[in-house]
Protein backbone atom coordinates (compact mmCIF):
# COMPACT_ATOMS: atom_id res chain seq x y z
CA UNK A 1 0.00 0.00 0.00
CA UNK A 2 1.36 3.44 -0.85
CA UNK A 3 0.97 6.36 1.47
CA UNK A 4 -0.27 8.91 -1.05
CA UNK A 5 1.01 11.53 -3.46
CA UNK A 6 3.68 13.17 -1.34
CA UNK A 7 4.72 10.52 1.14
CA UNK A 8 6.93 12.50 3.48
CA UNK A 9 5.76 12.72 7.08
CA UNK A 10 7.09 13.97 10.38
CA UNK A 11 6.09 11.82 13.35
CA UNK A 12 6.52 13.31 16.82
CA UNK A 13 6.31 11.28 20.02
CA UNK A 14 5.87 12.99 23.39
CA UNK A 15 7.21 12.05 26.81
CA UNK A 16 4.63 9.47 27.87
CA UNK A 17 4.87 7.82 24.44
CA UNK A 18 8.57 7.09 25.07
CA UNK A 19 8.45 6.69 28.85
CA UNK A 20 10.19 3.29 28.96
CA UNK A 21 11.83 0.74 26.67
CA UNK A 22 8.56 -1.07 25.95
CA UNK A 23 6.96 2.19 24.87
CA UNK A 24 10.02 2.99 22.73
CA UNK A 25 9.69 -0.41 21.02
CA UNK A 26 6.01 0.30 20.40
CA UNK A 27 6.91 3.68 18.90
CA UNK A 28 9.50 1.98 16.71
CA UNK A 29 6.79 -0.35 15.42
CA UNK A 30 4.55 2.61 14.61
CA UNK A 31 7.40 4.25 12.69
CA UNK A 32 8.23 0.98 10.95
CA UNK A 33 4.65 0.65 9.71
CA UNK A 34 4.89 4.05 8.00
CA UNK A 35 8.27 3.22 6.48
CA UNK A 36 6.91 -0.08 5.16
CA UNK A 37 3.99 1.59 3.38
CA UNK A 38 6.53 3.68 1.48
CA UNK A 39 6.59 6.93 3.42
CA UNK A 40 9.72 8.97 3.90
CA UNK A 41 9.69 9.48 7.64
CA UNK A 42 11.47 11.90 9.96
CA UNK A 43 10.88 11.36 13.66
CA UNK A 44 11.03 13.89 16.49
CA UNK A 45 11.14 12.71 20.09
CA UNK A 46 10.69 14.21 23.54
CA UNK A 47 12.52 13.16 26.67
CA UNK A 48 11.11 10.17 28.58
CA UNK A 49 8.31 11.48 30.79
CA UNK A 50 9.54 12.99 34.05
CA UNK A 51 13.13 13.38 32.82
CA UNK A 52 12.93 17.07 31.89
CA UNK A 53 11.22 17.87 35.21
CA UNK A 54 14.02 16.11 37.05
CA UNK A 55 16.69 18.01 35.11
CA UNK A 56 14.93 21.33 35.74
CA UNK A 57 14.75 20.50 39.44
CA UNK A 58 18.48 19.83 39.56
CA UNK A 59 19.14 23.32 38.18
CA UNK A 60 16.66 24.99 40.52
CA UNK A 61 18.06 23.21 43.55
CA UNK A 62 21.60 24.36 42.82
CA UNK A 63 20.52 27.95 42.20
CA UNK A 64 16.96 29.26 41.66
CA UNK A 65 18.43 32.09 39.56
CA UNK A 66 20.47 29.69 37.41
CA UNK A 67 22.42 30.59 34.26
CA UNK A 68 19.99 29.90 31.41
CA UNK A 69 22.73 28.74 28.98
CA UNK A 70 23.78 26.02 31.41
CA UNK A 71 20.14 25.18 32.06
CA UNK A 72 19.71 24.55 28.34
CA UNK A 73 22.76 22.34 28.05
CA UNK A 74 21.38 20.25 30.94
CA UNK A 75 17.69 19.98 30.02
CA UNK A 76 18.42 19.24 26.35
CA UNK A 77 20.06 15.94 27.30
CA UNK A 78 16.72 14.19 27.92
CA UNK A 79 15.77 14.28 24.23
CA UNK A 80 19.21 13.12 23.15
CA UNK A 81 18.85 9.95 25.20
CA UNK A 82 15.48 9.15 23.62
CA UNK A 83 16.62 9.84 20.07
CA UNK A 84 19.51 7.41 20.48
CA UNK A 85 17.30 4.76 22.12
CA UNK A 86 14.66 4.99 19.40
CA UNK A 87 17.34 4.76 16.70
CA UNK A 88 18.62 1.56 18.34
CA UNK A 89 15.07 0.16 18.66
CA UNK A 90 14.46 0.84 14.95
CA UNK A 91 17.77 -0.71 13.92
CA UNK A 92 16.91 -3.78 16.00
CA UNK A 93 13.73 -4.14 13.91
CA UNK A 94 15.70 -3.92 10.69
CA UNK A 95 14.94 -0.27 9.95
CA UNK A 96 17.93 1.92 9.18
CA UNK A 97 17.93 4.88 11.56
CA UNK A 98 20.22 7.44 13.20
CA UNK A 99 19.87 10.04 15.90
CA UNK A 100 20.29 13.78 15.34
CA UNK A 101 20.85 16.37 18.06
CA UNK A 102 19.47 19.83 17.29
CA UNK A 103 22.92 21.29 16.60
CA UNK A 104 23.73 18.49 14.17
CA UNK A 105 20.77 19.23 11.89
CA UNK A 106 21.34 22.22 12.47
CA UNK A 107 18.28 23.86 14.02
CA UNK A 108 19.39 27.46 14.45
CA UNK A 109 17.68 29.52 17.16
CA UNK A 110 17.96 32.93 18.77
CA UNK A 111 19.71 33.20 22.13
CA UNK A 112 16.65 33.50 24.38
CA UNK A 113 17.83 30.51 26.40
CA UNK A 114 15.06 28.46 27.98
CA UNK A 115 12.53 29.73 25.43
CA UNK A 116 14.47 30.16 22.22
CA UNK A 117 12.79 30.66 18.85
CA UNK A 118 13.82 28.76 15.77
CA UNK A 119 15.32 31.12 13.18
CA UNK A 120 16.24 28.63 10.51
CA UNK A 121 16.56 24.94 9.80
CA UNK A 122 18.94 23.63 7.18
CA UNK A 123 17.15 20.38 6.36
CA UNK A 124 19.47 19.29 3.56
CA UNK A 125 21.41 16.76 5.66
CA UNK A 126 18.16 15.25 6.93
CA UNK A 127 16.82 15.00 3.39
CA UNK A 128 20.00 13.23 2.28
CA UNK A 129 19.59 10.88 5.23
CA UNK A 130 16.00 10.06 4.24
CA UNK A 131 16.97 9.63 0.57
CA UNK A 132 19.52 7.02 1.69
CA UNK A 133 16.65 5.15 3.35
CA UNK A 134 17.75 6.06 6.87
CA UNK A 135 15.13 7.33 9.31
CA UNK A 136 16.40 10.45 11.09
CA UNK A 137 15.38 10.52 14.76
CA UNK A 138 15.71 14.14 15.81
CA UNK A 139 15.96 15.24 19.44
CA UNK A 140 13.06 17.65 19.91
CA UNK A 141 12.99 20.77 22.10
CA UNK A 142 16.51 21.89 21.19
CA UNK A 143 18.62 23.86 18.80
CA UNK A 144 21.81 25.85 18.75
CA UNK A 145 22.33 29.62 18.94
CA UNK A 146 24.74 31.80 16.91
CA UNK A 147 27.42 31.36 19.60
CA UNK A 148 27.23 27.59 19.17
CA UNK A 149 25.51 27.12 22.52
CA UNK A 150 22.74 24.59 22.94
CA UNK A 151 19.33 26.22 23.29
CA UNK A 152 15.89 24.89 24.23
CA UNK A 153 12.51 25.99 22.96
CA UNK A 154 10.45 26.23 26.17
CA UNK A 155 8.49 23.47 27.89
CA UNK A 156 6.59 21.31 25.44
CA UNK A 157 8.94 22.53 22.69
CA UNK A 158 9.25 19.23 20.85
CA UNK A 159 5.91 19.99 19.18
CA UNK A 160 7.53 23.11 17.73
CA UNK A 161 10.60 21.17 16.61
CA UNK A 162 8.28 18.77 14.77
CA UNK A 163 6.20 21.44 13.04
CA UNK A 164 9.30 23.45 12.12
CA UNK A 165 10.89 20.35 10.63
CA UNK A 166 7.68 19.48 8.77
CA UNK A 167 7.72 23.00 7.27
CA UNK A 168 11.35 22.86 6.19
CA UNK A 169 11.04 19.30 4.91
CA UNK A 170 7.85 20.29 3.07
CA UNK A 171 6.20 17.28 4.67
CA UNK A 172 2.67 16.28 3.77
CA UNK A 173 1.72 16.02 7.42
CA UNK A 174 3.01 16.46 10.92
CA UNK A 175 1.62 13.73 13.17
CA UNK A 176 1.81 14.51 16.87
CA UNK A 177 1.50 11.28 18.83
CA UNK A 178 0.59 11.74 22.48
CA UNK A 179 -1.22 10.07 25.39
CA UNK A 180 -4.73 11.20 24.42
CA UNK A 181 -6.43 10.43 21.12
CA UNK A 182 -6.87 14.01 19.98
CA UNK A 183 -7.73 17.56 20.97
CA UNK A 184 -10.69 17.72 23.35
CA UNK A 185 -13.16 20.42 24.37
CA UNK A 186 -11.13 20.61 27.57
CA UNK A 187 -8.49 18.56 29.32
CA UNK A 188 -10.03 15.05 29.31
CA UNK A 189 -8.05 14.28 32.46
CA UNK A 190 -10.15 16.64 34.54
CA UNK A 191 -13.49 16.59 32.71
CA UNK A 192 -14.67 13.08 31.90
CA UNK A 193 -17.40 14.52 29.67
CA UNK A 194 -14.87 16.30 27.44
CA UNK A 195 -15.46 15.56 23.75
CA UNK A 196 -12.91 15.00 20.99
CA UNK A 197 -12.83 17.79 18.40
CA UNK A 198 -12.34 16.29 14.94
CA UNK A 199 -11.23 19.52 13.31
CA UNK A 200 -10.20 22.73 15.00
CA UNK A 201 -9.11 26.03 13.42
CA UNK A 202 -5.46 27.08 13.78
CA UNK A 203 -6.58 30.27 15.46
CA UNK A 204 -8.70 28.50 18.08
CA UNK A 205 -5.97 25.98 18.82
CA UNK A 206 -3.49 28.83 19.08
CA UNK A 207 -5.62 30.56 21.71
CA UNK A 208 -6.32 27.30 23.57
CA UNK A 209 -2.63 26.39 23.62
CA UNK A 210 -1.59 29.87 24.70
CA UNK A 211 -3.97 29.73 27.67
CA UNK A 212 -2.87 26.33 28.87
CA UNK A 213 -4.12 23.43 26.69
CA UNK A 214 -0.71 21.81 26.67
CA UNK A 215 -1.65 19.15 24.12
CA UNK A 216 0.24 21.36 21.61
CA UNK A 217 2.86 23.98 22.41
CA UNK A 218 1.65 27.45 21.40
CA UNK A 219 4.56 28.16 19.08
CA UNK A 220 3.99 24.93 17.21
CA UNK A 221 0.47 26.06 16.33
CA UNK A 222 1.68 29.56 15.45
CA UNK A 223 4.21 28.04 13.09
CA UNK A 224 1.74 25.53 11.65
CA UNK A 225 -0.67 28.37 10.89
CA UNK A 226 2.06 30.51 9.29
CA UNK A 227 3.52 27.68 7.22
CA UNK A 228 0.17 25.93 6.61
CA UNK A 229 1.45 22.66 8.05
CA UNK A 230 -1.26 20.03 8.36
CA UNK A 231 -1.13 18.89 11.98
CA UNK A 232 -2.80 15.74 13.20
CA UNK A 233 -2.93 14.89 16.92
CA UNK A 234 -3.35 11.21 17.72
CA UNK A 235 -2.67 8.60 20.36
CA UNK A 236 0.52 6.55 20.41
CA UNK A 237 -1.28 4.06 22.64
CA UNK A 238 -3.61 2.88 19.87
CA UNK A 239 -2.78 1.27 16.55
CA UNK A 240 -3.98 3.14 13.50
CA UNK A 241 -3.13 3.29 9.86
CA UNK A 242 -2.76 7.02 9.34
CA UNK A 243 -2.29 6.50 5.62
CA UNK A 244 -6.06 6.00 5.38
CA UNK A 245 -7.14 9.61 5.22
CA UNK A 246 -10.83 8.78 4.74
CA UNK A 247 -11.23 7.80 8.39
CA UNK A 248 -8.73 10.02 10.14
CA UNK A 249 -8.19 9.23 13.78
CA UNK A 250 -7.49 11.98 16.29
CA UNK A 251 -7.92 15.66 15.56
CA UNK A 252 -6.84 17.84 12.68
CA UNK A 253 -5.77 21.45 13.03
CA UNK A 254 -6.98 23.25 9.90
CA UNK A 255 -7.83 26.63 8.40
CA UNK A 256 -10.92 28.40 9.71
CA UNK A 257 -12.71 28.16 6.34
CA UNK A 258 -12.73 24.35 6.68
CA UNK A 259 -14.79 24.55 9.89
CA UNK A 260 -18.50 24.45 9.18
CA UNK A 261 -20.06 24.71 12.65
CA UNK A 262 -18.67 27.73 14.49
CA UNK A 263 -19.61 27.09 18.14
CA UNK A 264 -19.69 30.07 20.50
CA UNK A 265 -17.19 28.18 22.66
CA UNK A 266 -15.03 25.42 21.17
CA UNK A 267 -12.85 24.68 24.14
CA UNK A 268 -11.93 25.54 27.71
CA UNK A 269 -8.38 25.62 29.03
CA UNK A 270 -6.72 26.31 32.34
CA UNK A 271 -3.22 27.20 33.35
CA UNK A 272 -1.70 26.65 36.75
CA UNK A 273 1.54 28.15 35.50
CA UNK A 274 0.40 31.68 36.34
CA UNK A 275 1.38 33.85 39.25
CA UNK A 276 -0.24 37.13 40.20
CA UNK A 277 1.77 40.20 41.14
CA UNK A 278 0.19 43.27 42.72
CA UNK A 279 2.33 46.41 42.82
CA UNK A 280 0.57 48.61 45.35
CA UNK A 281 0.69 52.31 46.00
CA UNK A 282 2.55 53.49 42.90
CA UNK A 283 2.44 57.16 41.82
CA UNK A 284 -0.50 57.70 39.44
CA UNK A 285 1.66 59.41 36.79
CA UNK A 286 2.35 58.97 33.06
CA UNK A 287 5.18 56.48 32.46
CA UNK A 288 4.56 54.42 35.56
CA UNK A 289 3.39 51.37 33.61
CA UNK A 290 6.52 51.49 31.52
CA UNK A 291 8.74 51.70 34.62
CA UNK A 292 7.25 48.38 35.73
CA UNK A 293 7.00 46.52 32.45
CA UNK A 294 10.14 47.70 30.61
CA UNK A 295 12.61 45.93 32.95
CA UNK A 296 10.45 42.79 32.86
CA UNK A 297 10.43 42.83 29.05
CA UNK A 298 14.18 43.36 29.01
CA UNK A 299 14.53 40.21 31.11
CA UNK A 300 12.36 38.29 28.61
CA UNK A 301 9.54 37.85 31.12
CA UNK A 302 6.12 37.61 29.49
CA UNK A 303 3.48 39.65 31.24
CA UNK A 304 -0.01 38.41 30.49
CA UNK A 305 -3.13 39.92 32.07
CA UNK A 306 -2.81 43.51 33.31
CA UNK A 307 -5.28 45.52 35.40
CA UNK A 308 -4.64 49.01 36.74
CA UNK A 309 -7.06 49.98 39.48
CA UNK A 310 -8.49 53.50 39.53
CA UNK A 311 -6.21 55.78 41.54
CA UNK A 312 -6.85 57.25 44.99
CA UNK A 313 -4.67 59.93 46.65
CA UNK A 314 -2.48 60.17 43.53
CA UNK A 315 -1.51 56.53 43.88
CA UNK A 316 -2.71 53.46 42.08
CA UNK A 317 -2.21 49.66 42.05
CA UNK A 318 -1.09 47.52 39.12
CA UNK A 319 -2.08 43.85 39.03
CA UNK A 320 -0.65 41.48 36.42
CA UNK A 321 0.32 37.88 35.84
CA UNK A 322 3.62 36.29 34.83
CA UNK A 323 4.57 32.63 34.31
CA UNK A 324 5.06 30.99 37.70
CA UNK A 325 8.53 29.93 36.62
CA UNK A 326 9.49 33.59 36.17
CA UNK A 327 7.98 34.85 39.44
CA UNK A 328 11.20 34.87 41.47
CA UNK A 329 13.08 36.73 38.74
CA UNK A 330 10.21 39.18 38.24
CA UNK A 331 10.07 39.92 41.97
CA UNK A 332 13.82 40.39 42.11
CA UNK A 333 13.74 42.80 39.15
CA UNK A 334 10.87 44.85 40.57
CA UNK A 335 12.49 45.09 44.00
CA UNK A 336 15.72 46.28 42.41
CA UNK A 337 13.73 48.96 40.52
CA UNK A 338 11.89 50.12 43.67
CA UNK A 339 13.63 53.52 43.62
CA UNK A 340 12.18 54.18 40.14
CA UNK A 341 8.75 52.54 40.52
CA UNK A 342 8.30 53.82 44.08
CA UNK A 343 5.74 51.24 45.15
CA UNK A 344 4.59 50.85 48.76
CA UNK A 345 4.07 47.12 48.64
CA UNK A 346 4.74 44.17 46.34
CA UNK A 347 2.37 41.23 46.78
CA UNK A 348 2.74 37.94 44.94
CA UNK A 349 0.30 35.04 44.77
CA UNK A 350 1.13 31.68 43.20
CA UNK A 351 -2.11 30.13 44.33
CA UNK A 352 -4.08 31.11 41.24
CA UNK A 353 -5.33 29.54 38.03
CA UNK A 354 -6.20 31.14 34.73
CA UNK A 355 -9.33 29.72 33.14
CA UNK A 356 -10.18 30.62 29.56
CA UNK A 357 -13.02 29.91 27.15
CA UNK A 358 -12.18 30.04 23.44
CA UNK A 359 -14.23 29.96 20.24
CA UNK A 360 -14.22 31.64 16.84
CA UNK A 361 -18.04 31.71 17.17
CA UNK A 362 -17.59 34.45 19.80
CA UNK A 363 -17.23 36.90 16.95
CA UNK A 364 -20.88 36.36 16.08
CA UNK A 365 -22.40 35.37 19.45
CA UNK A 366 -22.99 37.84 22.27
CA UNK A 367 -23.15 37.20 26.02
CA UNK A 368 -20.35 34.61 26.11
CA UNK A 369 -18.44 36.45 28.86
CA UNK A 370 -21.60 36.90 30.89
CA UNK A 371 -22.29 33.14 30.93
CA UNK A 372 -18.80 32.71 32.35
CA UNK A 373 -19.20 35.29 35.12
CA UNK A 374 -22.70 34.05 36.03
CA UNK A 375 -21.59 30.39 36.15
CA UNK A 376 -18.62 31.22 38.40
CA UNK A 377 -20.74 33.47 40.64
CA UNK A 378 -23.31 30.69 41.10
CA UNK A 379 -20.49 28.54 42.52
CA UNK A 380 -19.26 31.44 44.71
CA UNK A 381 -15.99 31.59 42.79
CA UNK A 382 -14.46 35.05 42.99
CA UNK A 383 -13.00 36.45 39.76
CA UNK A 384 -9.75 38.33 40.48
CA UNK A 385 -8.60 39.48 37.03
CA UNK A 386 -10.35 39.42 33.62
CA UNK A 387 -9.03 39.76 30.09
CA UNK A 388 -10.65 39.25 26.71
CA UNK A 389 -9.72 38.98 23.07
CA UNK A 390 -11.89 38.61 19.99
CA UNK A 391 -12.21 34.86 20.48
CA UNK A 392 -11.31 34.36 24.15
CA UNK A 393 -12.35 35.31 27.69
CA UNK A 394 -9.91 34.59 30.53
CA UNK A 395 -10.25 34.96 34.29
CA UNK A 396 -7.95 34.46 37.24
CA UNK A 397 -9.46 32.63 40.21
CA UNK A 398 -8.06 30.85 43.28
CA UNK A 399 -6.29 27.63 42.24
CA UNK A 400 -8.46 25.44 44.48
CA UNK A 401 -11.44 26.03 42.16
CA UNK A 402 -9.82 24.80 38.96
CA UNK A 403 -11.75 21.56 38.51
CA UNK A 404 -15.07 22.90 39.78
CA UNK A 405 -14.85 25.94 37.52
CA UNK A 406 -13.80 24.07 34.37
CA UNK A 407 -16.51 21.42 34.80
CA UNK A 408 -19.20 24.01 35.48
CA UNK A 409 -18.20 26.05 32.42
CA UNK A 410 -18.04 22.93 30.24
CA UNK A 411 -21.66 22.24 31.14
CA UNK A 412 -22.75 25.88 30.90
CA UNK A 413 -21.51 26.23 27.31
CA UNK A 414 -23.24 23.01 26.24
CA UNK A 415 -19.98 21.16 25.58
CA UNK A 416 -21.01 18.10 27.63
CA UNK A 417 -23.60 17.41 24.95
CA UNK A 418 -21.49 18.16 21.88
CA UNK A 419 -21.68 15.40 19.26
CA UNK A 420 -18.48 13.46 18.72
P1 LIG B 1 3.27 14.88 25.23
O2 LIG B 1 4.17 14.40 26.33
O3 LIG B 1 2.85 13.80 24.29
O4 LIG B 1 3.81 16.08 24.52
P5 LIG B 1 1.53 16.52 26.81
O6 LIG B 1 1.42 16.06 28.23
O7 LIG B 1 2.40 17.68 26.53
O8 LIG B 1 1.92 15.26 25.93
O9 LIG B 1 0.09 16.84 26.21
C10 LIG B 1 -0.95 15.90 26.32
C11 LIG B 1 -1.81 16.23 27.52
O12 LIG B 1 -2.48 17.46 27.26
C13 LIG B 1 -2.94 15.26 27.76
O14 LIG B 1 -2.53 14.18 28.57
C15 LIG B 1 -4.00 16.11 28.44
O16 LIG B 1 -4.03 15.92 29.83
C17 LIG B 1 -3.54 17.54 28.18
N18 LIG B 1 -4.58 18.41 27.62
C19 LIG B 1 -4.89 19.63 28.09
N20 LIG B 1 -5.88 20.17 27.40
C21 LIG B 1 -6.22 19.27 26.44
C22 LIG B 1 -7.19 19.26 25.40
N23 LIG B 1 -8.00 20.29 25.19
N24 LIG B 1 -7.26 18.17 24.61
C25 LIG B 1 -6.44 17.11 24.80
N26 LIG B 1 -5.50 17.07 25.78
C27 LIG B 1 -5.39 18.13 26.59
N1 LIG C 1 10.91 17.38 27.20
C2 LIG C 1 10.47 18.75 27.06
C3 LIG C 1 9.46 19.09 28.15
O4 LIG C 1 9.14 18.24 28.97
C5 LIG C 1 9.94 19.06 25.69
C6 LIG C 1 8.70 18.29 25.28
O7 LIG C 1 8.35 17.29 25.91
O8 LIG C 1 8.08 18.69 24.29
O9 LIG C 1 9.02 20.18 28.22
MG1 LIG D 1 3.76 18.13 25.02
Domain of residue 137, CATH code: 3.40.1160.10
Q: Are 139 and 72 in contact (CB under 8 A)?
A: no
Span from the CA of 12 to the centroid of ligand 3 (angstroms): 10
174 and 296 both lie in a single domain? no
Ligand index nearest the alpha carbon of residue 114: 2
Q: Are 10 and 173 in contact (CB under 8 A)?
A: yes
Q: What is the domain extent for residue 97? A: 8-180+215-256
**How many helices, marked H, and strands, marked E, lie in the chain?**
13, 22
pLDDT at position 246: 45
pLDDT at position 419: 60
Neighbours of ion ligand 3 (CB under 5 A): 14, 156
Q: How many domains does the chain have?
A: 2
240 and 328 both lie in a single domain? no
Residue 371 lies in a domain: yes
The residues that bridge with 152 in the sheet, in sequence order, are: 142
Span from the CA of 195 to the centroid of ligand 3 (angstroms): 19
Residue 137 lies in a domain: yes
The residues that bridge with 355 in the sheet, in sequence order, are: 270, 395
| pLDDT value at 117 more than 70 | yes
Q: Is 100 in the pocket of ligand 2 (CB under 6 A)?
A: no
Residue 6: band (very low, low, confident or very high) from pLDDT cuts 50, 70, 90: very low
pLDDT at position 1: 43
Span from the CA of 266 to the centroid of ligand 3 (angstroms): 21
229 and 339 both lie in a single domain? no
Choose which residue among 141, 151, 223, 323 to substitute to test ligand 2 binding: the one with the highest number of ligand atoms within 8 A of its C-beta.
141
Choose which residue among 176, 187, 237 to substitute to test ligand 1 binding: the one with the highest number of ligand atoms within 8 A of its C-beta.
187
Nearest CA to ligand 2 atom 5: 156
Closest CA to 146 of 107, 110, 194: 110
Domain termination residue (choose one: 256, 271, 289): 256
If you average pLDDT over residues 227-252, what whole number do you get? 79
Residue 376 lies in a domain: yes
Residue 187 lies in a domain: no
Residue 377 lies in a domain: yes
If you average pLDDT over residues 299-323, what whole number do you get? 89
Tell me how crowded residue 181 is: count the other CB atoms within 10 A of its CB. Answer: 18
Q: Is 363 in the pocket of ligand 1 (CB under 6 A)?
A: no
Query: What is the number of the ligand 2 atom nearest to the C-alpha of 14?
Result: 7
Residue 190 lies in a domain: no
Residue 1 lies in a domain: no
Q: Residue 342: which CATH number?
A: 3.30.2130.10
Q: Is 196 in the pocket of ligand 1 (CB under 6 A)?
A: no
Residue 314: band (very low, low, confident or very high) from pLDDT cuts 50, 70, 90: confident
231 and 296 both lie in a single domain? no
Span from the CA of 177 to the centroid of ligand 2 (angstroms): 13
Please give the model's pTM, rounded to 2 decimal places: 0.89
pLDDT at position 247: 53
Dihedral angle at the C-alpha atoms of 87, 90, 94, 100, nearest 10 degrees?
-30
Choose which residue among 107, 115, 140 to substitute to test ligand 2 binding: the one with the highest number of ligand atoms within 8 A of its C-beta.
140
Q: Is 141 in the pocket of ligand 2 (CB under 6 A)?
A: yes
pLDDT at position 263: 76
106 and 14 both lie in a single domain? yes
Peptide bond connecting 234 to the previous residue in cis, omega within 30 degrees of 0: no
Amino acid sequence: MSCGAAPRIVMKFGGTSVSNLDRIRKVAQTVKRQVEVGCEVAVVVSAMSGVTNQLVEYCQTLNPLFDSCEYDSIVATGEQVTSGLLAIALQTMGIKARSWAGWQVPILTDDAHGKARINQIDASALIRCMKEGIVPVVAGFQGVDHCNRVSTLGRGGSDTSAVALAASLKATRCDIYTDVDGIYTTDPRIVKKAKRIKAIAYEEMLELASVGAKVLQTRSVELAMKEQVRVQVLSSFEDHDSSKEECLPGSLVVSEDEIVEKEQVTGIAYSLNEAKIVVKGIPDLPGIASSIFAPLAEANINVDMIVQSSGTNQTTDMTFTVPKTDLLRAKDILEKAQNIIKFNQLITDENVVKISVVGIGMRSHTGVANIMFKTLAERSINVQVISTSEIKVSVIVAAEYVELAVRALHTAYGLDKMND
